[in-house]
Amino acid sequence: MSYEVVKIAIADDHPLFRTALIQAASKTLADSKILEAESFSELQTLIKEHSDLELIFLDINMPGNDGFSGLSRIKNGFPDIQVIMVSAIESGKVISRAIDLGASGYIPKSSSLEQISRAIGTVLNGETWIPEGIVVEDVNGPEKQLAEKLETLTPAQFNVLQMICDGLLNKQIAYEMNIQETTVKNHVSAILQKLSVNNRTQAGLIYQQLKSVDQQVDTLV
């Protein structure tokens, strides 16, 4: 099947696997533009510079991205971009978390070029790609509910949530974001309401759970 020109980004700090992804993407999307990032900060720059970016391959653990924090950030700010997670981990539990948190597919790093090509085609056809032979668990469970709540946060509120997780006080957050402390307080109040938690400690714990690959969210949502 042929596709219109699609601009994609490959975010992975392992050059060999980036090369494999590029080969598979070039095979499936012969005329498309392929961008590369070795860190999540580089990926964020690419997203800002290329408003027509449609598909991202995101390494589950790379500089600047821990677990599913990067996935959640992308889906919060750019919900129309499709994200395929890539990882050496082949656990059904981890894969189900990725899908529930907004990924359109999950590619183990043991995948062949043909499997990667099929995954790209499946996602571009509007379907979800799950590796063959992998049994996912608890799809549409608490993780899905959390993803829906995180999507209601504004990008500024998402930034505040991350800083809460990092232990910053309101005054410090205000300094980092160059905003008034009262604005930070308003953001915090909105975050607690949208995430259905009682205090900033619980809110920070939710974000911390996103950074853990194999920890389910089952107590705070």
Predicted local confidence at residue 180, as pLDDT: 96
Same domain, 94 and 152: no
What does pTM read for this prediction? Answer: 0.87
Instruction: Assess if residue 24 is contained within a domain.
Output: yes
**Of 59, 89, 124, which one is at a domain's C-terminal end?**
124
Enclosing domain of residue 33: 7-124
Same domain, 88 and 192: no
Instruction: Assess if residue 103 is contained within a domain.
Output: yes
Over 70: is that where the pLDDT of 103 sits?
Answer: yes
Over 70: is that where the pLDDT of 138 sits?
Answer: no
Predicted local confidence at residue 216, as pLDDT: 57
Burial of 139 (0-12, 13-18, 19+ CB in 10 A): middle
Are the C-beta atoms of 174 and 131 separated by less than 8 Å? no
Predicted local confidence at residue 221, as pLDDT: 44
Are the C-beta atoms of 123 and 104 separated by less than 8 Å? yes
Burial per residue of 95-110, b for 16 or more beta-carbon CB atoms within 10 angstroms, e otherwise = bbbbbbbbbbbbbbbe
Tens-place pLDDT, residues 165-219: 999 999 999 999 999 999 999 999 999 999 999 999 999 999 998 888 765 554 4
Centre a 10 Å sphere on the Cβ of residue 15 and count the other Cβ atoms it contains.
Answer: 10
Tens-place pLDDT, residues 72-96: 999 999 999 999 999 999 888 899 8
Predicted local confidence at residue 155, as pLDDT: 92
Same domain, 21 and 107: yes
Domains in the chain, number: 2
Predicted local confidence at residue 139, as pLDDT: 59
Tens-place pLDDT, residues 2-59: 456 789 999 999 998 899 899 888 888 877 889 999 999 999 999 999 989 999 999 9
Predicted local confidence at residue 108, as pLDDT: 92
Calculate what percentage of the chain has a pLDDT beyond 70: 92
Question: Residue 146 is part of a domain; what is its CATH number?
Answer: 1.10.10.10
Amino acid sitting at position 85: M
Question: Residue 26 is part of a domain; what is its CATH number?
Answer: 3.40.50.2300
Same domain, 104 and 182: no
Q: Which residues on adjacent β-strands are paired with residue 108?
A: 87
Instruction: Assess if residue 129 is contained within a domain.
Output: no
Same domain, 103 and 181: no
Q: Under 8 Å CB-to-CB from 194, ≥6 apart: which residues? A: 149, 152, 153, 157
Tokens of 40: 């999540």
Same domain, 12 and 113: yes
Task: Report which secondary-structure segment, H or E, holds 133.
Answer: none
Same domain, 73 and 165: no
Predicted local confidence at residue 32, as pLDDT: 81
Tens-place pLDDT, residues 105-130: 999 988 888 999 899 989 988 999 99
Same domain, 19 and 120: yes
Please indicate whether residue 137 or residue 101 has the higher confidence score (pLDDT): 101
